[in-house]
Amino acid sequence: MAGNSKSSAAAVSVASNTILVVLKLVVGLSIGSVSVISEAIHSSNDLLAAVIAFLSVRFAGKPADQEHPYGHGKMENVSGTIEAVLIFLAALWIIYEAVTKILHGVELQSVDLGIGVMALSTVANTFVSAYLYRRARETESVALEADAAHLRTDVITSLGVFLGLVLVRVTGWKVLDPAVAIGTALVIIRTAYAMTRRSFVDLLDRRLPDEEESTARRIISEHYGDFVEFHDLRSRRAGSERHIDLHLVVPAKTTVEEAHRLCDHLEDEIGAQLRNTSITIHLEPCHGQCEDCDSTRYTTEGPCRQETEDPL
């Protein structure tokens, strides 16, 4: 269900970007505006990013298989990183074109068409980016979040180009067109950096945020008495998927069935609080050094609490 939602959202982005690229490119070339052409290139980049996001969420949504036993979630992080690099390259191209225009003179035809297409782009991408952000939050998709960030940047840059063309129309200062394009490129570079940082760090198996790890630790701690202690809790994220593993020490007399029931219970409670979480629990018997320990059942009471470490 989540996979279909992600794919549908990515498809909307592909469709809207395709229309805007054609409009901006035609208008930019017809009036000779480097700022509008730069926006066309930016939107072309967005279109490529949207296609990458569409393909990545479909791939990431595939279940684990023999070749990928941990699933395909990291494809979303790869997608987000690629998109960020593409944004950065587009920004450099925009700066080059704008500087060239400033050095060799700016020739602009009627700017009214440029003003119109930039207004349309601003409105359309405002709605589409808001839609993608909402779907990204619902599905915890890194790829959709990166695509939404693309379009949110496009909203800002389109608005900047729109205002620049309005000023050109009012004042007649054509040099404002490439100047606005350079400002647009700087905003794009800032977004590219933020996206790279957001997408790439999870490829290095960065731990989950503190609040998410604390949630897992709190849920486990609420069941002290069912076990002796837990340690070596590790976590990481792959796309919208979370992975948590830990060592759980149970009384030596606990049966396999009792320990398994306890693990299932912990996994269910953590999964209810943290969506898309895969949990691996390594069971260990305690050393049995407490003389009064006779706990052999899966229960909420137990005599080994004094041996536990502070989980938080």
- pLDDT tens across 172-201, in order? 787 777 787 788 778 778 777 777 776 666
State both tokens at 100.
């060239």
Higher per-residue confidence, 58 vs 149 = 149
Question: For residue 306, what pLDDT band results from cuts at 50, 70 and 90?
Answer: very low
What structural domains does the chain harbor? 2-204 (1.20.1510.10), 210-307 (3.30.70.1350)
| % of the chain residues with pLDDT over 70 | 72
Lowest-pLDDT choice from 32-41, 47-56, 122-131, 255-264: 47-56
The type of residue at 101 is: K
Higher per-residue confidence, 294 vs 81 = 81
> What is the reported pLDDT for 70?
58
DSSP 260: H
pLDDT tens digit string along 108-145? 667 788 888 888 888 988 888 888 888 887 776 766 77
Long-range contacts of 308-311 (CB under 8 A, 24+ apart): 308/224, 308/228, 308/229, 309/229, 309/231, 311/217, 311/218, 311/220, 311/221, 311/230
> What is the reported pLDDT for 248?
92
Measured distance CA(35)–CA(24) in Å, rounded: 10
pLDDT tens digit string along 199-230? 666 666 677 888 888 889 998 988 888 888 88
Query: Which strands sit side by side in the sheet containing 277-285, from one edge to the other?
Result: 229-238, 241-250, 277-285
> What is the reported pLDDT for 68?
57
Higher per-residue confidence, 56 vs 85 = 85
Q: Cβ(204)–Cβ(230) under 8 Å?
A: no
Higher per-residue confidence, 102 vs 128 = 128
Measured distance CA(143)–CA(306) in Å, rounded: 46
Measured distance CA(155)–CA(216) in Å, rounded: 38
> What is the reported pLDDT for 150?
72
> What is the reported pLDDT for 59?
62
> What is the reported pLDDT for 1?
46
> What is the reported pLDDT for 247?
93
- Average pLDDT score over the chain: 76
Look at the block and give the residue holding tokens 């901006």: 24
Q: Residue 304 above 50 pLDDT? A: no
State both tokens at 170.
């009012």
> What is the reported pLDDT for 309?
44
Measured distance CA(178)–CA(102) in Å, rounded: 7
Instruction: Kindly report the pTM of this predicted structure.
Output: 0.53
- Cα atoms in the Cβ-side hemisphere of radius 13 Å centred on 91: 21
